[in-house]
Amino acid sequence: MRIYITGSKGQLGRALMRRLVQHDLLGVDLPEVDLTDLSATRSSIAAFKPHVIIHAAAMTDVDGAARNPDLAYRVNALGARNVAVASEATGAALLAISTNEVFDGTKSGPYLEFDLTNPINPYAQSKLAAEVFVRDLTTRFYIVRIAWLYGLGGNNFVRKIITRADTAGKLRVVTDEVSSPTYTEDLITAIEQLIPTGAYGIYHFTNDGACSRYEFAQKILELSGRAHIPIEPIVFADYPRPSTPPPYAPLRNFCGAQIGITLRPWQDALADYLAHEQF
C-alpha cells in the first residue's frame, strides 16, 4: 500500500514512519512541503499517487493558537482543506487526526463519536474546521480523534512531568482537566486495523479510561520510581494560560469497538511507554 504521511517530523508522524515500514511510504513536513499552499500540496500528493493519506500534521501548540488564531486556522483548517482537495483528486482515502477538544467539556460522561461538537478555544475551533473540510470535500475519510498524545522520543506531558520532577523536586498539577491519554504505539495499531476495513467515519481512539492531569501525573511518578516526589493538586484557575481546555472531555471508543478495534487501559499503556523510553 502507498501511504502519504503529513507531519512526518512530529511525534506521531515519526512513529508512523517507523511502524508502517512494510508499506511504500512518503513522509512530508516543513520545509519540503507547505500544506498551507494548495498548489504545492496537490503537486506532492499527485506525484506520489497514494492509496491512503494519513494527515497528522497540525499546529498543536494550543496556547500558541490562542495567541495567534489566524495561524491556527491557516495551518489546521486550510491545511486540512488542501489535503482533502488533493486526496479527492487522486482517489486516495484520507485519515485525518483530530482532537477531544472539539467538545466543550460539559457532558457528564465520556463523549461518543455522535455527540455534538462545541469547541471553546481557537485551537479546537481550527481543528473542528478541519473536520468539516474533510467531511465536506472527500468521499472516503476516517476522522480519528485523540487526546493527550504521548510517544517515544516526543516532548509530551509524560516527559515534562518527569523532567520537572527531577529538576524542581516537586509538582503542582491541575485536577479539573480530565480526559483520556493516548499512547502513539496503541493509536498506530488501531489505525493499522482501521484502514483496511473501509468503514469510513469518525472514531475515538484513545487508551481506555479517563483521568485528571493530576491523576495522570501521580501515575507517571509512581510507575517511573518517583512516587516520593510531592505533587500538589491545584485547579485551572491557579494556573492561568492563554488557552482554555475543556474541563471534562474523555473520549469513548464506541464506533471502533463495533468492528473489533479497542485500545488497552491508559495505565497499562503508560507502563509500557515508561519501560521503553529513555529519560
- Identify the pLDDT of residue 43: 97
Please name which of 190, 184, 180, 74 lies closest in space to residue 142, comparing C-alpha atoms: 190
- Identify the pLDDT of residue 171: 96
Q: How far apart are CA 34 and CA 175, in angstroms?
A: 38
Read off the pLDDT of each residue in 209-215 and give the average, rounded to a whole number. 97
Q: Does the pLDDT value for residue 240 go beyond 90?
A: no
Residues whose CB falls within 8 Å of the CB of residue 202, separated by 6 or more in sequence, listed in order = 113, 131, 142, 143, 145, 255
Fold category of 2-156+180-209+248-264 in CATH:
Rossmann fold (3.40.50)
Per-residue pLDDT band for 279 (boundaries 50, 70, 90) equals confident
Per-residue pLDDT band for 265 (boundaries 50, 70, 90) equals very high
pLDDT digits (tens, 9 = 90+) for 115-163: 999 999 999 999 999 999 999 999 999 999 999 999 999 899 999 999 9
Domain range summary for the chain, segments of one domain joined by +:
2-156+180-209+248-264
- Identify the pLDDT of residue 36: 97
- Identify the pLDDT of residue 278: 86
pLDDT digits (tens, 9 = 90+) for 2-55: 999 999 999 999 999 999 999 999 999 999 999 999 999 999 999 999 999 999
Read off the pLDDT of each residue in 220-227 and give the average, rounded to a whole number. 96
From 4, 73, 123, 248, the catalytic residue: 123
Assess whether 123 carries a catalytic annotation.
yes
Q: How far is CA 23 from CA 18, 19, 50, 97, 277, in A?
A: 11, 9, 11, 20, 25
